[in-house]
Structure 1
Amino acid sequence: MKRSVVVRLLAAGATAATAAAIGLTLQVPQAAAAVGGVTGYATQNGGTTGGAGGQTVQASTGTAIHAALCNRASSSTPIIIQVSGTINHGNTAKVSGSSCNTADGVIELKEISNVTILGVGSGAIFDQVGIHIRDSSNIIIQNVTVRNVKKSGSPTSNGGDAIGMESTVRRVWVDHVTLEASGGESEGYDGLFDMKNDVEYVTLSYSILRNSGRGGLIGSSETDTGSGYITFHHNLYTNIDSRTPLLRGGIAHIYNNHYVSLNESGINSRAGARAKVENNYFKNSKDVLGTFYTDAAGYWQASGNILDNVTWSSPGSDTNPAGPSMPSNTTVSIPYSYSLDAASCVPNVVAATAGANKGLQVSNGSCTPVSPTAGPSASPTRTAGPSPSASPTRSPSTSPTASPNPPSGTNLSLASGAGADGSSKADGTSYGNVRDGSLSTYWSPSGATGDISVKWGSNVTVARAVIREPSGTSGSIGSWQLINYDTGAVLKSGSGAGTITFTATSLKKITFRITSSSGAPKVAEFETYAS
C-alpha cells in the first residue's frame, strides 16, 4: 500500500491486514485506462476523463471499491479503481468516510466525481450487485459485466437496474460492458441501463445488453423530461422485450447498434424526445422505432438503417410505429464529430468489439475493428455529423478586463426565479453565495477546479458576465471557460476574474468552469447581464 492511504486506514481503526482482507491494494499513479477514447455526448460540457491522473487502486470486493472511494482526500480527488474477480452481496459492505456515501449490497457512486472503474485481469463480474450513480459527475465504467440485478425477490440491489443514474448526474462514459438479466419484471428484474431525474452528457458504447424485459430508459415518467444528451453506439441489444431505449424528453443519438430479437418494441421516443437514429441494423424484431404505450408523442430523424425481418403494429391511439419505411419527423443536430460505419457491416463489427473482455477493441469507422491504441481518435475516417460551421463555436481565448463596477442594466443573477448550482463546493461555502450581492460570501470548489452555474426557470438572453472574487482576494482564478450549459457550447475562454463579453445568447443555464487555479479559487459573485 502507499503510505498515505495506509495512514488513513489506520486512523479509521483498520490494519494493513484488514485492507488486504477486503481486497484493496494500491499502485503508483498512472493515466486512466480508457484507451479507446471517449466518444459521443460524454465528450461535451467539458468532457469525461474519470480518474485520469489519480492514484490507481486494485479491488477484488465491493467493500474494497467503497474503501477506495472513502479513503480519498476529498470526494473529487481523481481515482482509478481496477476491479477483478466477482463482486457480490457477500463482499459488498458499506464503508464510511468524508469523501463517500456508500451502502450495503450496491456499488454506490454518490455525491462524488472523477472516478474510473475498470475491469482487469480475467474479468470483473458484478453478480446481483448493481452500480448506482447519483449526484455525481465525470465517471467512467469500462470492461465489466453486471448481471442478474433484482428489484424484487432476493437479493435486491439498485432498484433492479444493472447500471442506474439519477438526480443531477453529468458526464458519464460506460464502455465495453456486458449488462444482462435472466428475465423481465415478473422475474424480479428492471432495466439494464436507466437514467432519470436530470442526467446529461452520457455515452454508452461497445456494450452488450441482453436477456431482459427492459433495456433501459431516459426519464422515469412522462413528466420526468429533464434528462438528455445521451449517445448509444456500437452496442448489441439482444432478446430484449422493450426500451432500447425508452426516451422521455431530451436528445439521444443512436447509431451503429445491432438489434436482434426485440420482442415487443425497440426505440420508444415519447414525451417530446428527439432521437437521431442512423446506420443501425435491426433483425428479427418488432416495432423497432416509434412512440408506443402513450399518446405523448416523441420524434426521430432516421437514416441509413437496415431492417431485416422487422414487423410492425398498426397505428392506434397509443401506438405510432415509424415503420415500415421509418420516415423522419424532426431534425437533430449533433455537436460532435463521429465515425459512422455502414449499416451492412454493423453485425460483424459489433460482434468483434462489443462487451466486456473483448480487448477494448473499437471500430475505425470503416467497418474494421482495431486495437485500443489505434482507437477512434487515431482514425480520421469518414466523419459524420454537422459541418464545422454548424458545430458550437469557440471564441478566441481572452482574459477579461477587471471591472470594479457592474455593467449598466439589471443583474439577471439576482432576478426572481434565478438559482445557482455547481459541480462541487468546499466546506463552508455555498452555490447561492455567488448571487447574493455580497463580496463577503463566496463559493469555492472542493479542489483546484470546478463549475459554478446560474440558472433560470425559462430562457433569458445573456451577453455579459462579471466574475468577482471576495473582498481582499485576487488572482486565485486561473484559466476558465464560460459555457452555455443547455448546449455545451463554449461562449468564451480566458483567465482571471473580471468582465466577460460574448455574443448575446438565449439560455436557461450558464456555467463558469475553472480549469486551473493558484491556491483555492473563490467566486463571490457571478453576475449576468443582457448587454
Structure 2
Amino acid sequence: MKRPVAFRLHAAAAAMALAAGTGVVLSMPQASAATGGATGYATQNGGTTGGAGGQTVRATTGTQIHAALCGRATSSTPLIIQVEGTVNHANTAKVSGTSCNTADGVIELKQISNVTLVGVGAGAVFDQLGIHIRESSNIIIQNVTVKNVKKSGSPVSNGGDAIGMESGVRNVWVDHVTLEASGGESEGYDGLFDMKDDTKYVTLSYSILRNSGRGGLVGSSETELSNGFITYHHNLYDNIDSRAPLLRGGTAHMYNNHYRRINESGINSRAGAHAKVDNNYFEDSKDVLGTFYTTAAGYWQVSGNVFDNVTWSARTSDHNPAGPNPQSNTTVSIPYAFTLDSAGCVPDVVARTAGAAKGLLVSDGSCTPQTPSPTPTQTTPTPAPTQTTPTPGPTTPTPGPTQPGGTNLSIGAGSDGSSKADGTSYGNVRDGNLSTYWSPAGTTGSVSIKWGSATTVSSLAIREAAGATGAIGSWKVLNGDTGAVLTSGSGAGVITIPRTTLQKLTFQIVSSSGTPRVAEFETYAG
C-alpha cells in the first residue's frame, strides 16, 4: 500500500518588476527562487545560487528575457528573471549587447552566469520553444513548462531539446519544471533534458518528463565522456520510450523518482557510466535499468527500489538488462547529504510535488501527512506598457505582535555587517541592551546575525535606539547563506518571514531619514 507523503514549501519569488515594450524594468531584488537552495550535485563545485542577491525583472516574452540578460552590467551580474504567460517563437527575438549572446526563436543562456529563470505563480509556458544553456554556469530554472519542441528540420524548431546544455556548462539546478512532447523521434521530437560536451554538476529535481520518445541523455556519443555528476530526484518519468536517462560515462545519482510506462528502456548506463539508483519506484514498465543498444558496459549500484509490474528482456550481446533481480555491480560514493523517502511512498511524493504549478512543494523524507508552510504573498503589478521606472518601493508588512513569543535566538549568536559608524558595534544588536546600538557608516547598510549551526527562524524584531525612532526607511531581510530576499518593507518593528533554516540572517537598510540606529536585532523560531 502506498503511504501519504510529508512535504514542505520552498519560499518562492515574491515581488515583481514591470515589462515595458520589448525591454524590461529592473527593480531591487525582492525575492529569489527557492530559498531552500539547490540539492544534489548542483551543491558541489562551489554551489548553485543562480541570480540570488541580484536585481529582479518581470518578462512576458522571450524578447524581454533576452533584453534582461543584455541589460546587465556584465555577463556575470546576478539577475532573477520572473516569467509569466506564454513564450513562443512569435515573441522571441534576438537582442544584442555586451553581456549576452542571444538568438531568434530560442531562449539562449549562452556565455553567461548567475541567472535565475523562474515562472511566476502557476508558472510560465515555453510553447514549441526550448531553453539552451551554452558555455554558462550557476543557472537556476524553476516553475516553468516547456512543451512540444521539435528537432532541427521541422517547420518550427530550435534544435530539438526542451532543455539542453552543452559546451563547458557548470552548476545548473532545474527544479519543479514540466517537460513534455507529443510523440517520438519519428514525429519530430528529440530529448527533453540533454547534457553534452563537458557539462557537470547538474541537478534535476521535482520535475515531470512525459510523452516523449527520449527522456534525456548525458553525452552525445560513446567517445564523448566529458560529462557527469548529475542528480535526478523526485521526478516523474511518464510514457517515455527510452533515455530515462541515457548515461555515457560519468556519475549520476537517481533517487526517489517515479518511473511509469517506460516503454523500451529506462536508465541506460553505458560506456563506463556509474549510476547510483536509490529508493525509486518503477511501475508498468520494461527494462528500466541496464546497458542497452551497445556492448560498451556501464555500471550501477542499486538499493531500496520497488519494481511493480516491470518486465525484463532476455540478454544479448548489446542488450544487458539488470533484471529480473537487479544487483549492484559497482559502488558509487556520493559527496553531498540527502534524505531518502521510502520507495513505497514515492508515487505519492512525486504526484504531490513534481512539476510546474505545484507551489514548489518538496518532500521532507518522512512519508507522513503534513500541512505545508504558507506561501509568501505575491503581488502582481498592473501592466504598464509605457512604464519606464520601477513601481514605488516595497510595501510595509502587516504589523505583527509587539513582542514575538519564545527565546530571542540572537543572544549568544555572532554578528557582522557591511559597515559600522564610529563608536558602534555589530555586537550591540544582540546584547539585549536598548541603550547600545549599531549604525552603518552612512545612511544605508546591513547587519547580520550568525549561528554556528543551522537555525530555524520565522520572525525578527528590529528595535531602534532612543532618539532614532522612525529613521529606518525601506529594508530587506535576506537569507545570508544564499543571498535570497525573504521579505521587504519599511520601518522598524516585528517582521514575519517564511520559516527558514539558515546560519545567517541579514537586515539590509535600503533607505533612511538620517543615520539609523539599530539597538536590537532579535530573532525567533516561533
**Is TM (by shorter chain) over 0.5?**
yes
Q: Residues 385-405 of structure 1, C-alpha deviation per residue, up to 9 Å, x if partnerless?
A: xxxxxxxxxxxxxxxxxxxxx
What CA distance in whole angstroms lies between the structure 1 residues aligned with 2:111 and 2:33? 23
Indicate conservation of the 8 Å contact 1:361/1:371, yes or no: no
Q: What is the aligned partner in structure 2 of residue 317 from structure 1?
A: 317
Flag the 1:123–1:343 CA change in 2: closer, same or farther, 3 A.
Answer: same
Q: What is the aligned partner in structure 2 of residue 510 from structure 1?
A: none
Letter in 2 for 1:308: D
Question: Aligned to 1:121, what secondary structure does the other structure show?
Answer: coil
Deviation (angstroms), 1:20: 1.6
Letter in 2 for 1:119: G
Q: What is the aligned partner in structure 1 of residue 203 from structure 2?
A: 203
Deviation (angstroms), 1:171: 0.3
Q: What is the aligned partner in structure 2 of residue 473 from structure 1?
A: none
Q: What is the aligned partner in structure 2 of residue 33 from structure 1?
A: 33
Deviation (angstroms), 1:29: 1.7
Q: What is the aligned partner in structure 1 of residue 277 from structure 2?
A: 277
Deviation (angstroms), 1:19: 6.3
Question: Aligned to 2:86, what secondary structure does the other structure show?
Answer: strand
Q: Does 1:235 align with 2:231?
A: no
Question: Aligned to 1:150, what secondary structure does the other structure show?
Answer: coil
What CA distance in whole angstroms lies between the structure 2 residues aligned with 1:129 and 1:366? 38
Q: What is the aligned partner in structure 2 of residue 266 from structure 1?
A: 266
Q: What is the aligned partner in structure 1 of residue 343 from structure 2?
A: 343
What CA distance in whole angstroms lies between the structure 1 residues aligned with 2:371 and 2:31? 18
Name the structure with the higher helix share.
1
What CA distance in whole angstroms lies between the structure 2 residues aligned with 1:246 and 1:87? 29
Deviation (angstroms), 1:322: 0.2
Q: What is the aligned partner in structure 1 of residue 141 from structure 2?
A: 141
TM-score w.r.t. the length of structure 2 is 0.66
Question: Aligned to 2:120, what secondary structure does the other structure show?
Answer: strand
Q: Does 1:90 align with 2:90?
A: yes
Deviation (angstroms), 1:28: 2.0
Indicate conservation of the 8 Å contact 1:36/1:374, yes or no: no
Please tell me whether Structure 1 or Structure 2 has the larger radius of gyration of its CA atoms: 2
Flag the 1:177–1:368 CA change in 2: closer, same or farther, 3 A.
Answer: farther
Q: What is the aligned partner in structure 2 of residue 298 from structure 1?
A: 298
What CA distance in whole angstroms lies between the structure 2 residues aligned with 1:368 and 1:164? 36
Q: What is the aligned partner in structure 2 of residue 108 from structure 1?
A: 108
Deviation (angstroms), 1:371: 7.7
Q: Does 1:286 align with 2:283?
A: no
Deviation (angstroms), 1:199: 0.4
Question: Aligned to 1:334, what secondary structure does the other structure show?
Answer: coil
Deviation (angstroms), 1:154: 4.0
Q: What is the aligned partner in structure 1 of residue 43 from structure 2?
A: 43
Letter in 2 for 1:144: V
Deviation (angstroms), 1:172: 0.3
Question: Aligned to 1:65, what secondary structure does the other structure show?
Answer: helix
TM-score w.r.t. the length of structure 1 is 0.66
Indicate conservation of the 8 Å contact 2:41/2:230, yes or no: yes
Question: Aligned to 1:42, what secondary structure does the other structure show?
Answer: helix
Letter in 1 for 2:357: N
Indicate conservation of the 8 Å contact 1:27/1:55, yes or no: yes
Q: Kindly report which structure 2 residues correspond to 1:404-483, keeping only aligned pairs within 5 A, or say none.
A: none
Question: Aligned to 1:238, what secondary structure does the other structure show?
Answer: strand
What CA distance in whole angstroms lies between the structure 2 residues aligned with 1:151 and 1:287? 26
Q: Residues 106-162 of structure 1, C-alpha deviation per residue, up to 9 Å, x if partnerless?
A: 000000000000000342000001000000000000000000000145444341000
Letter in 1 for 2:197: N
Q: Residues 448-492 of structure 1, C-alpha deviation per residue, up to 9 Å, x if partnerless?
A: xxxxxxxxxxxxxxxxxxxxxxxxxxxxxxxxxxxxxxxxxxxxx
Structure 2: stretches of 5+ with no match in the other structure: 1-17, 376-526
What CA distance in whole angstroms lies between the structure 2 residues aligned with 1:245 and 1:195? 10
Question: Aligned to 2:346, what secondary structure does the other structure show?
Answer: helix
What CA distance in whole angstroms lies between the structure 2 residues aligned with 1:58 and 1:149? 24
Flag the 1:369–1:193 CA change in 2: closer, same or farther, 3 A.
Answer: farther
Q: What is the aligned partner in structure 2 of residue 366 from structure 1?
A: 366
Flag the 1:110–1:370 CA change in 2: closer, same or farther, 3 A.
Answer: farther
Flag the 1:234–1:122 CA change in 2: closer, same or farther, 3 A.
Answer: closer
Letter in 2 for 1:87: V
Letter in 1 for 2:112: I
User: 1 or 2 for the larger relative contact order (CA 8 Å, sep ≥6)?
Assistant: 2
What CA distance in whole angstroms lies between the structure 2 residues aligned with 1:273 and 1:216? 15
Question: Aligned to 1:191, what secondary structure does the other structure show?
Answer: coil
Flag the 1:155–1:65 CA change in 2: closer, same or farther, 3 A.
Answer: farther
Deviation (angstroms), 1:37: 2.3
Q: Residues 194-242 of structure 1, C-alpha deviation per residue, up to 9 Å, x if partnerless?
A: 0000000000000000000000000000001110000000000000000
Letter in 2 for 1:69: L
What CA distance in whole angstroms lies between the structure 1 residues aligned with 2:248 and 2:361? 32
Letter in 2 for 1:64: Q
Flag the 1:374–1:289 CA change in 2: closer, same or farther, 3 A.
Answer: farther
Question: Aligned to 2:192, what secondary structure does the other structure show?
Answer: strand
Indicate conservation of the 8 Å contact 1:36/1:362, yes or no: no
What CA distance in whole angstroms lies between the structure 1 residues aligned with 2:209 and 2:366? 24
Structure 1: stretches of 5+ with no match in the other structure: 1-17, 376-531
What CA distance in whole angstroms lies between the structure 2 residues aligned with 1:373 and 1:73? 37
Flag the 1:174–1:373 CA change in 2: closer, same or farther, 3 A.
Answer: farther
Deviation (angstroms), 1:327: 0.3
Flag the 1:371–1:210 CA change in 2: closer, same or farther, 3 A.
Answer: farther
Q: Kindly report which structure 2 residues correspond to 1:163-174, keeping only aligned pairs within 5 A, or say none.
A: 163-174=163-174
Of all paired residues, the percent bearing the same amino acid is: 78
What CA distance in whole angstroms lies between the structure 1 residues aligned with 2:21 and 2:371? 35
Letter in 2 for 1:326: P
What CA distance in whole angstroms lies between the structure 2 residues aligned with 1:216 and 1:341? 24
TM-align CA RMSD: 1.7
What CA distance in whole angstroms lies between the structure 2 residues aligned with 1:374 and 1:318? 51
